Amino acid sequence: GIQVEQSPPDLILQEGANSTLRCNFSDSVNNLQWFHQNPWGQLINLFYIPSGTKQNGRLSATTVATERYSLLYISSSQTTDSGVYFCAVGFNDYKLSFGAGTTVTVRA
Amino acid sequence: DGGITQSPKYLFRKEGQNVTLSCEQNLNHDAMYWYRQDPGQGLRLIYYSQIVNDFQKGDIAEGYSVSREKKESFPLTVTSAQKNPTAFYLCASSMTSGDDFQETQYFGPGTRLLVL
């Protein structure tokens, strides 16, 4: 299957800081999604972004499919941004392969 | 409200016992999925189903079984053959819309399974 690597594994931010999370994948994809898992375990879909750039409030994402990576940007971080961010990919199938995640801690 | 429900929130299994985790969705989604998450790790796919009465094994299907008799429901049974079942189990669903496979997955709140 497609291998997914996320970096960094852990990130500690001061409230108000900006950050970039990276997702590298080993093969062609036509499905790429970013998720946020809150401290209670609930996963929320942030972006569906197999290519191009999208923005939603303080979050934005860019996928460069030809170079096999995606970036998630968090601007003006808030304590509610804490949690684990997962990148998941797929190719010609609805099932997804997940990375190990980036754990983000935002301190007040 | 539309969404995905999972029950129970916590489940305790005794050695040699089969247990069933419930997943129900009212989003009218065709596809449903079961994932396992171990502490500090990503999600691994157990089984998925794209249509009623059909399902496929994921990456870690051994020791698990599923059924898809109704569009809304995709229960997961953790059998006694699964030797290390303690984990967080997440159910998801998505639409299926042709050949581009471009559909967002939506997740339920999860079930934590502990072995006594």
pLDDT of B98 > 80? The answer is no
Residue A30: which pLDDT band, with cuts at 50, 70 and 90? confident
Is the previous residue joined to B109 through a cis bond, with omega within 30 degrees of 0?
no
Q: Say how far apart CA A31 and CA B43 lie, in whole Å.
A: 16
Residues of chain A contacting B106 with CB distance shorter than 8 Å: 45
pLDDT tens figures, B77-90: 999 888 899 999 99
Residues of chain B contacting A101 with CB distance shorter than 8 Å: 41-42
pLDDT, averaged across chain B:
92
pLDDT of B32 > 80? The answer is yes
Residues of chain B contacting A48 with CB distance shorter than 8 Å: 102-104
CB contact under 8 A, A33 and B58: no
User: Least CA distance to A4: which residue of chain B?
Assistant: B42
User: Least CA distance to B46: which residue of chain A?
Assistant: A95
Residues of chain B contacting A97 with CB distance shorter than 8 Å: 45
B106 touches chain A (CB under 8 A): yes
Q: Nearest CA of chain A to the CA of B60: how many Å?
A: 12
A·B CB contacts under 8 A? 64
Three-state secondary structure along chain B? Answer: CCCEEEECCEEEECCCCCEEEEEEECCCCCEEEEEEECCCCCEEEEEEEEECCEEEECCCCCCEEECCCECCECCEEECCCCCCCCEEEEEEEECCCHHHCCCCCEECCCEEEEEC
Q: Select from A44, A54, A96 the residue whose CB has the most chain B CBs within 10 Å, as the one to mutate to test that interface.
A: A96
Q: Nearest CA of chain A to the CA of B30: how many Å?
A: 11
Task: Output the CA angle A31-A33-A38, nearest 5 degrees.
Answer: 160
pLDDT tens figures, A78-105: 999 999 999 999 988 778 999 999 999 9
Q: Say how far apart CA B50 and CA B48 lie, in whole Å.
A: 7
pLDDT of B96 > 90? The answer is no
Residues A87/A8, Cβ–Cβ less than 8 Å: no
